[in-house]
Structure 1
Amino acid sequence: MRTLYVITHPEATHHVEGVVGGWHDSQLTPAGVRAARSIAQALRAQVPDDAEVELFTSDLQRTLRTAKEVAELIGVKPALDRRLREKSYGEAGGRPQEWLDQRFVPPPAVGERMEHDEGVEGAETKAACAQRIYAAMDEILRSPCEHQVIVTHGGSLTFVVASWIRMPIESAGYASFRAPSGSITTLREDDFFHNRQVVSLGDTRHLDSTEAD
């Protein structure tokens, strides 16, 4: 039995500042750090004490800080992988969200969506983002480890899950697996049928006590 726990980093400075995230290297806010500790505690409660665990994280500061909380509590060293980053918004990264909104060209309802040009210099296409995340997932899943933690971003989660269920990249143009910041998505593969389940998507129950603080 293999279980993946996919974390979307909690509140970061770009959220509260109203600027575009992407590859902009924002930090967790104080509330985000508290949420990261709650995430770590929730995982500690789910993963058996004697289990081998692997931890993979995007290399941006907001995900790395989240991963460090998990690493300290579970006792595992995080492996940094820039392929787990959020989609790049090119020159829009770090600019006010309004700046991007004024220039953004949404994908067509029908037609080419994966290679669609969003109208922002240097921005990744959906295809480019999917390809690197699929590649990272292929490498992660080559390991036989039964408990794996992935710390990534809200936008990246779609391609983590799509890769997990073996959705062909060319079919992912309409895919959207949305989850709140600071959530845990649990994925599981059984040993008999080797079916890949999405056990839970975007669970935030562990954040209830954090929000009350």
Structure 2
Amino acid sequence: MPHTQLWLIRHGETAWNAERRFQGHTDVPLNATGVQQAKKVAEKLIRQHGQQSFSAVYSSDLSRARHTAEPTALAIKLPIRLDARLRERHYGVLSTLTPEEMAAEHPEAFRHWQQRDPAYVLPEGESLNQFNQRVLDALASIAREHPGQAVIVVAHGGVLDCAYRAAQNMPLSEARQHPLHNASVNQLRFADGRFHIERWGDIGHLEQAAIDEL
């Protein structure tokens, strides 16, 4: 089967990103910086569109991802296909909190999060294993629907992390060293049932530094 090109993009900045506050499934909108980042992503992908035609635009259904996708989708005249499977990890009781607040209010859950315990289910949320399976199933199904094509997928830092780890055969429990910047463009190839990284962490289109994932 022909391979699929996945252009995986993290949403633009939100006020909670700037505050280091966990969003998870909470629907936090882009801030002014994030709106500008979305426009810069669109400009970059429009330039790329002149060299390589995109077949579809997918997005998490949360507004920070959807609004990041909108300028690009409008410019290349494609509808946005919303997919809730592309949401960030559900952080349960840790949602809406900063790391300092997590440590004070939910020390056990915070400890498991810090240790990257894949099997631990966050109270009212999901485990890393559950999240990873959801994300990889979504990305693989999107890729299989578009063999031989290039597809844009706008999602979240945790989604990018799952894709990177799958491509690098990197355990979920291992500490992260790779960047997950807001509005970054990351190019992967899906072939023979596997993800392969072609380019990662590109923020050259942005005018100022972007915030990395916690």
TM-score by length of 1: 0.82
Match for residue 48 of structure 2 among 46, 50, 69: 46
1:27-80 Cα deviation digits (max 9, x unpaired)? 000111011000011011112377242111111110010011111111111111
The question of 1:116 aligning with 2:117 is answered no
Match of 1:25 among 24, 27, 45: 27
Measured after TM superposition, the shift of residue 194 of structure 1 is: 9.5
User: Structure 1 200/175 Cα, relative in aligned 2: closer, same or farther at 3 Å?
Assistant: farther
Which deviations, in whole Å up to 9, do the C-alpha atoms of 1:170-193 show, x marking residues without a partner? x44327443211100111358xx9
| Alignment RMSD | 2.9
Counterpart amino acid of residue 77 in structure 2: G
Shift of residue 18 of structure 1?
A: 4.3
- Cα distance between partner residues in 2 of 1:183 and 1:47: 17
Pick which of 201-210 and 59-68 moved more: 201-210
SS where residue 208 of structure 1 aligns?
coil
Deviation readout 1:110-164 (Å, 9 max, x if unpaired): xx932035xx52131100100100110121011225110110111221112344x
- Residue 79 of structure 1 corresponds to which residue in structure 2? 81
Instruction: Judge conservation of contact 1:54–1:148 (CA < 8 Å) in 2.
Output: yes
Decide whether aligned partners of structure 1 residues 209 and 12 sit closer, same or farther in structure 2, where only a CA change above 3 A counts: closer
How far off its partner does 1:208 sit? Answer: 2.1
CA pair 54-96 structure 1, distance change in 2 beyond 3 A: same
Which runs of no fewer than 5 residues in structure 1 stay unpaired? none
Checking the alignment, whether the CA contact within 8 Å between 2:187 and 2:200 is kept in structure 1 is yes
**8 A Cα contact 1:158 1:175, kept in partner:** no
Partner residue in 2 for 1:105: 111
What amino acid maps onto 2:94 in structure 1?
Answer: A
How far apart, in 1, do the equivalents of 2:72 and 2:94 lie?
31
The runs of 4+ residues in structure 1 deviating greater than 4 Å are 193-196
Distance 1:46 1:178 in 2: 22
- The alignment partner of 1:114 has SS state of coil
Q: Which amino acid aligns with 1:14?
A: W
- The offset of 1:108, in angstroms, is 8.4
Q: Which residue does 2:137 correspond to in 1?
A: 135
Look up the SS of the partner of 1:207 in the other structure: coil
Partner of 2:186: 185
Asked if the contact 1:52–1:145 (Cα under 8 Å) also holds between the matched residues in 2, the reply is no
Give the Cα separation in 1 of the matches to 2:197 and 2:20.
31
Identical pairs, percent:
26
The alignment partner of 1:155 has SS state of helix
Equivalent residue of 1:198, what SS? Answer: strand
Length-normalised TM-score, structure 2: 0.81
- Amino acid in the other structure paired with 1:200: R
Q: Secondary structure of the equivalent of 1:40?
A: helix
Q: What corresponds to 1:156 in structure 2?
A: 159
1:159 maps to a residue whose letter is C
Assess if the C-alpha contact under 8 Å between 1:154 and 1:178 holds in 2.
Answer: no
